[in-house]
């Protein structure tokens, strides 16, 4: 099988063939090598069965809820609130950018969406106020990493559906790490601002303007609270919570802010269908690969490999971190979760790592990989918005990626930060 992977999958991937097609074609070649024609009839069956998980219904609804918030102009309200809270600190626009991404993370759950939504406004504003364009793009790209960590999170939904881990437990586990990443980025941005003379300290906006900003931003910030509160107190399941998020988004868009129009519904639905189709097709194609994992006993082989390298849990986690960070730079996050999750999670359980803890390590790792130079997907999105060359952006983002890696090591080796809320609510 290894020969087939390197002889078919890797060349197709390098040639630009979509990952989903690479998986299916590689599986077909393996079936041919096995020589049992009955296996070919199982490919469509497995692809179809992979989409029958009820939890996957939450994906289109959360995507739609995020798109509704975008169309309703929630970004402006959240940025005004973020600016009122931290804009008076040295390097204030950079801090505003980071806090806006943290607020926005509770709405979209996608790093690329956060980069585009926040970057379109914050990057020009930062350049206008004397920040270098590569620094503005770097702050935007680095802070978008918070998106898939703070709930709701599309990558967490994918992981939960593939590995049968509690999505409510994962959402709870992501709360503290997301805040820690934001704090680390703010500290880094402050140090860079002081060293390079960015953003003179501005006066505090005053409690009156802060109160107005809070009142205008509260309806948007209530969305993650409604989702988590409803799930934890048993009012609805995670899937039902995603539908409630859509209804709530329509309510504040049409009634409270009155910025959403009927003409926006068609583009919202179109974006939702496209994004959902891409994710679901990848999941369906990956189901055939999961059969190969069990057929060839790859989990046992990977376990033996790691145990032969080390019997120490902490060394194992370090090796996993390095592997995920490298893979996150090159491969789609959903694909990496689907392929590597079934391989490495059982090994982690053998080392005594809690399933929810390992799930957060995986998602955080791969998310940081999105912003890691030179090939992180978020970097290309930030380059497209700012017109900054990739090389300049790659150098500018290194201090922020370093800060995120420090947080990653903290949550890896101190389980308290990921497991406190899941344990508090009985999910671990």
Question: pLDDT digits over 43-54, tens only?
Answer: 677 677 666 777
For the chain, what is the domain count? Answer: 1
Q: Give Cβ neighbours of residue 132 (< 8 Å, ≥ 6 apart).
A: 196, 396
Residue spans of alpha helices (H) in 129-196:
133-143, 154-163, 167-173, 175-196
In a domain, residue 349? The reply is yes
Position 394 scores a pLDDT of 87
| Torsion of Cα atoms, 31 then 37 then 38 then 43, to 10° | 40
User: Which portions of the chain are predicted below pLDDT 70?
Assistant: 1-6, 9, 13, 36-43, 46, 49-51, 106-110, 199-203, 205, 287-301, 303
* Residue 411 near residue 368, CB atoms below 8 Å: no
In a domain, residue 24? The reply is no
In a domain, residue 32? The reply is no
Position 90 scores a pLDDT of 78
Structure tokens at 110: 């996608």
In a domain, residue 333? The reply is yes
In a domain, residue 215? The reply is yes
Segments forming the whole domain that contains residue 130: 53-424
Position 235 scores a pLDDT of 85
Structure tokens at 159: 């992981």
Q: What is the DSSP letter of 352?
A: T
In a domain, residue 284? The reply is yes
3-state secondary structure of 362: helix
- The span from the CA of 29 to the CA of 35, in Å, is 10
* Residue 63 near residue 248, CB atoms below 8 Å: no
In a domain, residue 112? The reply is yes
Structure tokens at 217: 């931003």
In a domain, residue 310? The reply is yes
């Amino acid at each position: 099988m290894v020969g087939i992977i390197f002889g078919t999958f890797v060349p197709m991937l390098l040639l630009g063939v979509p990952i989903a097609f690479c998986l299916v074609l590689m599986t077909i070649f393996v079936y041919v090598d096995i020589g049992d024609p009955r296996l070919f009839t199982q490919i469509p069956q497995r692809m179809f069965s992979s989409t029958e998980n009820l939890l996957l219904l939450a994906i289109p609804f959360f995507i739609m809820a995020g798109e509704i918030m975008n169309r309703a102009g929630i970004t402006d309200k959240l940025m005004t609130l973020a600016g009122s809270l931290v804009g008076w600190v040295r390097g204030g626009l950079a801090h505003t950018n980071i806090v806006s991404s943290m607020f926005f993370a509770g709405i979209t759950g996608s790093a690329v969406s956060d980069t585009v939504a926040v970057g379109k406004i914050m990057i020009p504003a930062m350049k206008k106020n004397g920040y270098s364009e590569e620094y503005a793009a770097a702050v935007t790209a680095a802070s978008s990493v918070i998106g898939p960590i703070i709930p709701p999170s599309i990558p967490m939904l994918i992981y939960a559906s593939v590995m049968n881990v509690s999505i409510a437990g994962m959402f709870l586990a992501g709360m503290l790490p997301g805040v820690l990443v934001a704090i680390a980025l703010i500290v880094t941005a402050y140090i860079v601002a002081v060293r390079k003379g960015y953003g003179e300290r501005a006066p505090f906006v005053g409690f009156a303007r802060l109160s107005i900003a809070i009142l205008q931003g509260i309806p948007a910030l209530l969305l993650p609270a409604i989702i988590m509160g409803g799930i934890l107190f048993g009012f609805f399941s995670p899937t039902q919570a995603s539908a409630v998020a859509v209804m709530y988004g329509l309510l504040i868009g049409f009634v409270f802010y009155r910025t959403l129009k009927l003409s926006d519904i068609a583009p919202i639905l179109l974006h939702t269908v496209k994004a959902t189709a891409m994710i679901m097709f990848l999941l369906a194609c990956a189901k055939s690969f999961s059969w190969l994992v069990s057929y060839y006993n790859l989990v046992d082989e990977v376990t033996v490999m790691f145990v032969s390298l080390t019997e120490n849990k902490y060394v194992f986690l370090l090796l996993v971190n390095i592997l995920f960070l490298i893979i996150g730079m090159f491969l789609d996050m959903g694909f990496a979760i689907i392929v590597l999750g079934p391989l490495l999670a059982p090994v982690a359980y053998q080392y005594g790592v809690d399933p929810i803890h390992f799930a957060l390590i995986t998602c955080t790792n791969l998310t940081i990989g999105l912003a890691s130079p030179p090939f992180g997907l978020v970097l290309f999105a930030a380059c497209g918005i700012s017109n900054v060359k990739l090389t300049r952006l790659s150098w500018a983002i290194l201090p922020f990626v370093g800060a995120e890696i420090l947080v990653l090591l903290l949550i890896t080796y101190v389980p308290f930060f990921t497991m406190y809320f899941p344990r508090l609510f009985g999910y671990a």
